Every structure is written in structure tokens, then in C-alpha cells.
Structure 1
Amino acid sequence: MLKHLLATTVLVIAVPIAAQLDPGVRMPPEIGAAYGRLGKAMMAHDAAGVRTVWADDFVVNSPDNRVLTREQVIAAMAQEFLDYKDFHKHITYVGEKPEMTVVMGYDTMVPLKGPGAGKQVMRPFTDIWAKRPAGWQLVARQATIAEAR
């Protein structure tokens, strides 16, 4: 069950991020750079690199309402359950506060394994970034597969 869950719910990718911002949406440079580092780390299955972007207390809410920790997601990454192709991030909203930033939008990708394998899926998401001593870190994510084509 956890393998099925992780294959369909979690963050970014095993291919470079192609991000598209809606008109009028501005991505803070530090968070844009963190998304880039995260994409590279995920693609390389680099747990140490992922840990620099995901906070120690990072959690993700999955489609079946299970909350997964950073280490549970990294374990799935190590087993190649989070590999996708044709991954695109569409940013529709960025809300900046001094110590927190909310990023919303949707991802489109083709999972290589698990449910939807070989089909394009759309996954709306909400990412919560917090300013920490180490810099901006992702602390929470909600991502649910909305549609498979």
C-alpha cells in the first residue's frame, strides 16, 4: 500500500523541472533556486541534496489522507518509486510573507511506475515554504492526482 501511495503522491521528479508561471505571478529567487536544487537531487536520487531543501519536519498529505514524513518519501525515492518523465510545474499563485511563502499550482507528468504508469497525470499542489536558519525550506506539501489521460 505504501509503495502505491508513494508512487502517486509525492513531490517533484526524476527529470528536470520545467516551470511555467501564470501571468503576473512572481517566484521569489531563493525559492525558485530551491526548486531547482530539489529537482536535481530527486533526479540523482540524492537523499542528502533533498534533505537540504526539505525541512527536518517536512510532511506531505497523500490522496488517501495519509501524512508521510520526509524520510518516508526519501525511502521511496531510493527505491525509484518517484520517477517521472515529461514533468512540468505550473505555478498559479505565490503568496509571500516574511517568514513563509505559499506556492500553488499543478504538476503534469507521466509516472514510470505505479498507478497511471505511462499516462499523463495532473496533480494540483500546495507547497508551504518556511524561512529557516539554513534558508528557505519546504515544510509541507499537499498533492493529489486529479486526472489521468
Structure 2
Amino acid sequence: MYLQHSIFTNQTLTMKMRFLLLVFLVTSIPFLACAQSAEETAVRKVSALEVTAFLSNDTASLAKLWSPNYVVMNPFNKIVSFNEIKVLMRNAKINQIRFDRIIEKITINQNLAIEMGQEIPDEKSAVSGVPKSVTSPRRFTNIWQNSNGSWQLIARQATNVSQ
């Protein structure tokens, strides 16, 4: 009889330990997710600042947010550098209309963040004569690098989406 009671006790302990382990794992997951969310929050913040600076033609702010080696594959399938973009902005050669950036995914990999999503232009803010390609929705990938505690955009790819 004592042997059966001992087995029952071991089974009960095993069940209790499994239950406690399950509770521990379930309650730990949110804390593990928070480790990345601070970095993700920072990337979302600089991404929003980048949109505001770009739409405002604020090259001084963009110089802080973009790496000096920033390179873009733009929606017109042309590769342009930071300096080329600044010249285009100064000469009003970039048609800027308000758009909403919808971030679908941010992946943090050491000091790099890959941001992916879509940008939906606000056609109402387009001035007459703006090409349809400027008001088309686009898919984008931004690559941010964290250097000395601040995020800078180092590369971007944007593709117009057919409507």
C-alpha cells in the first residue's frame, strides 16, 4: 500500500511540475517579446520622423536620419544616392505628396532593422500634372542601422503596385 501511495505522489508531483512549467513559459513570453519591442518602437519612431522630414523637404533632418552612404532603388527602378536625392529635393524634382506608411513587419537582427510595408499616397494632396506613378501605392523595404545608439536609414527599395 505504501508503494502505491508513493507512486501516486510522484505522479502528482510530476503533474504539478508540468503545470508550473507551463505557467512559467506562458507568463515569460510577453517579457521575451518586450526585449525586441523597445528596439522596434525606436525604429517606428525614426521611420515616422523620416516620413515627416521627407514630406517637409527637410534635408537637414534627413541628413541625421539617413546614412551618408544611403542608397535607394526608387519606384522608377533607378538607384540613387543620398547626395542625388538632396539635389533632386533642392531643385524640386521630386514630386512629394502626402502618404501613409503602413509598417507590416520590423525584424531586428543585431544592429540592423528591416522594415517592410506599404505606402499609400493621398491622391487629394497631389498637384495637377503629377504622374500617376507618383500616386500609385507602393511596397517598400527600409534597412536601418543602429550606430552608437541611434538609427540611420542605410538602404531603401520601393516598388509601385499596379492598381
**TM-score normalised according to structure 2 size:** 0.65
> 1:22-41 maps to which residues of 2 (within 5 A)?
28-41=40-53
Q: Going by fraction, where is strand more abundant, 1 or 2?
A: 1
Structure 1: gaps (5+ residues) = 1-25
Asked if structure 2 preserves the Cα contact closer than 8 Å seen for 1:76 and 1:82, the reply is no
CA RMSD of aligned residues (A): 2.3
Aligned to 1:128: 143
SS of equivalent to 2:71? strand
TM-superposition CA deviations, 1:84-126 (whole Å, max 9, x none): 03x1111111111121010111101035454217x84110001
Match of 1:115 among 131, 155, 162: 131
Q: In the alignment, what sits opposite 1:23?
A: none
Aligned to 1:56: 68
Larger radius of gyration: 2
Q: Relative contact order (alpha carbons < 8 A, sep ≥ 6): 1 or 2 greater?
A: 1
Distance change in 2, residues 1:74/1:82 (3 Å):
farther
Structure 1 stretches (4+) deviating beyond 4 angstroms? none
Q: Give the Cα separation in 1 of the matches to 2:105 and 2:49.
A: 21
In 2, are the aligned partners of 1:54 and 1:138 still within 8 Å (CA)?
yes
Comparing 26-35 with 51-60, which one deviates more in the overlay?
Answer: 26-35
* TM-score, normalised relative to structure 1: 0.70
1: CA distance, partners of 2:76 / 2:139: 15
SS of the aligned residue for 2:137 comes to: strand
